[in-house]
Amino acid sequence: MFVIYVSLNYQQLPITTREQLVFSKEELTRANELLSGEKSILENMILSTCNRTEVYAVVDQIHTGRYYIKRFLANWFHVSIDQVTKWAEIGFKQDAVAHLMRVTTGLESLIVGEPQILGQVKDAFFTARDLGTTGVILNHLAKDAITFAKKQHTTYRVSELAKTSGQTGLHQIKTGLQDLSDKHVVIAGLGDVGSHVLKNASTMGFGEITILNRTNEKAVQLADHYGATVRAADWDKLAVAANAADAVILATSAKTPVLNGHTFASGDTNLKMVVDLGVPRNVHSEDLPVEITYFDIDHLTAIISENQRAKADMIDQMAAQVPAAVDAFDVWEQQLHVVPVIKEIRESAMDVEKKRPTTVCSVSCRNLTPTSAK
C-alpha cells in the first residue's frame, strides 16, 4: 500500500484554469464516493480550495493508482488525461506525507504560513472520514498533519505578524493598552484604509469605538452596521472625542493636520496612543505631550519590515520540523505492517504450546519404606 497525492495548484496553474478545477462543498460527497470506486484506490480524500484541488489516496500500486486518480479528475472536470498530466503535481510515499504536512501548516499557501488552510484540511478529512472513504492509514496521516499544524501555529505565531500599516497600528495599540475590554478607540477617516481598520478593530474586543468622517452619513451607516460597540460622532467633535479616548487612529487624506498636538494638554487628556496613517501626517507629532506614544507611517513601515524578517525566520523553522513528522509517520506505518506478522507468530507459538504432549515421568516411582532395624 502506498500514499499518493495529485495536486492542481496555484504554483502550476493560473486562476483562469484553476477556477475550472474546483469541487464545490456540495460536490465533495459524490466525488469522494466515485473516486473510492476507482480501481487501485483503497482510501481517499479530496481537498478543494481557491488555490488548490488535491486528491490524497492510499493505493495498492503507484502507477495504476496515479492513472486512475488522473482519469477520475479528467472525467469529473471534462478535460483530457493528458491535460491533467501536464497540470498535476504528483508525489507518493514520504513525499506525499510531507506535502500534506506542509499544506496543512500553510507552508504551501499563497500567503505562506496562513492558518486558514488548517480548517479546510480538517473539513476535507471529516467529509471523507464520515463517508467511509478513508481508512486506517489516511485517518492516522490526516490526524498527524492536523496535530502538527496546530503545534506549529501555536509555537510560531506567524499569523499575528501584521502585514499592513493599519494592522500594525492596531497591534501596537493592543500591545500598549493590553486589556481592551474597557478601552476606547477613535478612528477618524473612513476611506479604504480607515474602513479596513474599523473592520479589524471591531473584532478585537474594544469596549468602545468612536468613528468620525467628514461625510457624517458614512460614519452613521457604518456605526449602524457594526452595532452597539461602535458609535458615530460629528467631525467637528474630533478633538473632544480624541481627548476622551485611550487611543486614536487617524486615516484622513487631508493635506494639513486635522489635529494640533496642543489639543492634548498634559493632565487634561485620557489619550495614551496616536497612530497616524495619513500622508501628509494628520497631526503635528512635535506638539504631543511626551506621555502620548506616537506612530506615523514610517514607524509602522519599519515594524512591518521587521515582521517580514521574523516571519521568514519562523517559516524556516516550521519547515525544518516537517522531516521529523514524516519520519514519525513512516515509523508508525512500518509498525502497522509488522503487527499482523507479530500477531501471527504469537498465535502460531500458542498453537504449538497447546499441541505439545504432557511430559510423563520416565522413572518408575517406588513407595520406599524404611527397612526395620533388626
Please indicate, yes or no, whether residues 203 and 148 belong to a single structural domain of this protein. Answer: no
| DSSP result, 64-86 | HHHHHHHHHHHHHHT--HHHHHH
The residue annotated as part of the active site, out of 17, 37, 39, 50, is 50
Please indicate, yes or no, whether residues 196 and 117 belong to a single structural domain of this protein. Answer: no
Residue type, 349: A
**Terminal Cα-to-Cα distance of the chain (whole angstroms):** 86
pLDDT tens digits for range 167-193: 999 999 999 999 999 999 999 999 999
Q: What is the share, in percent, of the chain residues with pLDDT greater than 70?
A: 90
Please indicate, yes or no, whether residues 144 and 277 belong to a single structural domain of this protein. Answer: no
Please indicate, yes or no, whether residues 126 and 176 belong to a single structural domain of this protein. Answer: no
Per the domain annotation, does 68 fall within a domain?
yes
Alpha carbon separation from 135 to 127, 144, 197, 203, 342 (Å, rounded): 13, 14, 46, 39, 21
> Mean pLDDT over residues 323-330, rounded?
95
Residue 1's pLDDT is what?
A: 85
Please indicate, yes or no, whether residues 299 and 276 belong to a single structural domain of this protein. Answer: yes
Residue 240 pairs in a beta bridge with none
Please indicate, yes or no, whether residues 248 and 271 belong to a single structural domain of this protein. Answer: yes
Is residue 365 part of the annotated active site? The answer reads no
CATH of the domain at 37: 3.30.460.30
> Mean pLDDT over residues 76-96, rounded?
96
Please indicate, yes or no, whether residues 223 and 103 belong to a single structural domain of this protein. Answer: no
Domain count, the chain: 2
Q: Looking at the predicted structure, is the pLDDT value of residue 330 above 50? A: yes
Please indicate, yes or no, whether residues 177 and 250 belong to a single structural domain of this protein. Answer: yes
Rounded Cα gap, residues 241 and 236, in angstroms: 10
Per the domain annotation, does 188 fall within a domain?
yes
Residue 307's pLDDT is what?
A: 85
> Mean pLDDT over residues 145-173, rounded?
90
Q: Looking at the predicted structure, is the pLDDT value of residue 198 above 60? A: yes
Domain that holds residue 282: 165-303
Q: Looking at the predicted structure, is the pLDDT value of residue 363 above 50? A: no
Per the domain annotation, does 58 fall within a domain?
yes
Please indicate, yes or no, whether residues 151 and 181 belong to a single structural domain of this protein. Answer: no
pLDDT band with cut points at 50, 70 and 90 for residue 111: confident
For the chain, the average pLDDT equals 89
Per the domain annotation, does 337 fall within a domain?
no
Q: Which residue has the higher pLDDT, 111 or 101?
A: 101
Choosing from 254, 279, 303, the residue where a domain stops is 303
